Structure 1
């Protein structure tokens, strides 16, 4: 049995990494992404990043996530958007808030919860296969 994350979740993970952690800053051990960089542009940058963040929410909806979790994801994106309107301080806080990463963690926890039995069975099967190969060696 092979259990893999759905394409929508994998896309959301890649998008969140691009938006929140794609670039390592020199000197300080903090990673930033396009959200922090584009968000520096007053108004338009934050609005553009909100639209991209909502793509992650849409990917969650396409997986069939429950409405309360989707609402939490929208709230995270809205907080990130709102923080961006505070000059300088908002840009600094945006570096650490990482709403897109939070939203992907919500998606991951939900998906694992929904697929726990299959993931556990696949893990047991892989362990059994490994044990059998170890005996034959």
Structure 2
């Protein structure tokens, strides 16, 4: 698909309002990064760490869910550089997370969806002022 056709198709896609998109992204981030409290620790884990334990498909599925956040951010008009940073966060999480054992520990500490939510909030805060 050439760029002109791509732009014509994406121009017809609905743009969402920032408030409802932010609520959806916050809910997904909570599910992926902090849905379950670990007893005795002050840390939480989410589906990202849990499904990352499944060899092969776990980190790929987690990356797809992380890319949904990037898609929402694109619909909100985030700059291309910020979108690339978000894609980089998801990519690092997927690539390093796919390494057995070490990747599972990495998923515990590197929270790509939380980082992407912070980037989105920073953009929305700047846009509102």
CA contact (8 A) 1:8 1:59 kept: yes
Q: 1:30 aligns with which of 28, 35, 43?
A: 43
Paired residues for 1:99-110 under 5 Å: 99-110=112-123
In the alignment, structure 2 segments of 5+ residues that lack a partner are 1-16
TM-score, with structure 2 as normaliser? 0.84
Q: Is the aligned partner of 1:90 residue 2:128?
A: no
Q: Which residue number in structure 2 is paired with residue 126 of structure 1?
A: none
Instruction: Give the deviation of 1:84 after TM superposition.
Output: 1.3
* Superposed CA offset, 1:58-81 (max 9, x none): 000010111100000000000000
Q: Does the aligned pair in 2 maintain the 1:8–1:62 contact within 8 Å?
A: no
Q: 2 CA distance for matches of 1:59 and 1:37?
A: 24
The answer to whether structure 1 residue 46 and structure 2 residue 59 are counterparts is yes
* Alpha-carbon offset, residue 113 of structure 1: 0.2
Cα RMSD for the two superposed structures: 1.2
Q: CA offset at residue 5 of structure 1?
A: 5.1
For these two proteins, the number of residue pairs brought into alignment is: 113
Aligned to 2:26: 13
Structure 1 gaps, min length 5: 117-137
Q: Pick the structure with greater CA Rg.
A: 1
TM-score, normalised on structure 1? 0.79
- Point out which structure has higher relative CO (alpha carbons under 8 A, 6+ apart): 1
1:38-93 deviations in whole A, cap 9, x for unaligned? 01001101000100000000000010111100000000000000111211111011
